[in-house]
Amino acid sequence: MESARRREELPGRDPPTDEQIDAAVRLLSLLADETRLRILCALSVGEFDVKTLVTITGSTTTATSQHLARLRDAELVSVRRDGRRAIYRLSGGHLRKLIREALSEADHHILGLPPHE
């Protein structure tokens, strides 16, 4: 069902649907939390258990587990069992690229680098 919201035409692309915008907002809001972003950055380079992610994030086990649960619910991370340990990893390559681009954009701001395509 189409929304009454006005959509601007994007050159060379159909305007995003309300569903796409809503999904993107949910995704970006999950990335906007420092602990979750640290977790996702770590998982973008490998698989880790909760204990290792606690060390990486500097958070508590309880808080890290709660963040992982939110990321799992959003299907951004997946988990596999290795005996009694739960091993987490990113669910897809698009998220890895998004994290890399966000950090690259941050570098541009921090280092005063000029924008580029």
% residues pLDDT > 70 (the chain): 90
pLDDT tens across 53-93, in order?
999 999 999 999 999 999 999 999 999 999 999 999 999 89
Select from 30, 40, 5 the least CA-distant residue to 19: 5
Please tell me the pTM assigned to this model: 0.84
Q: Which domains does the chain have, with CATH numbers?
A: 19-111 (1.10.10.10)
The rounded distance, in Å, linking the Cα atoms of 44 and 96 is: 5
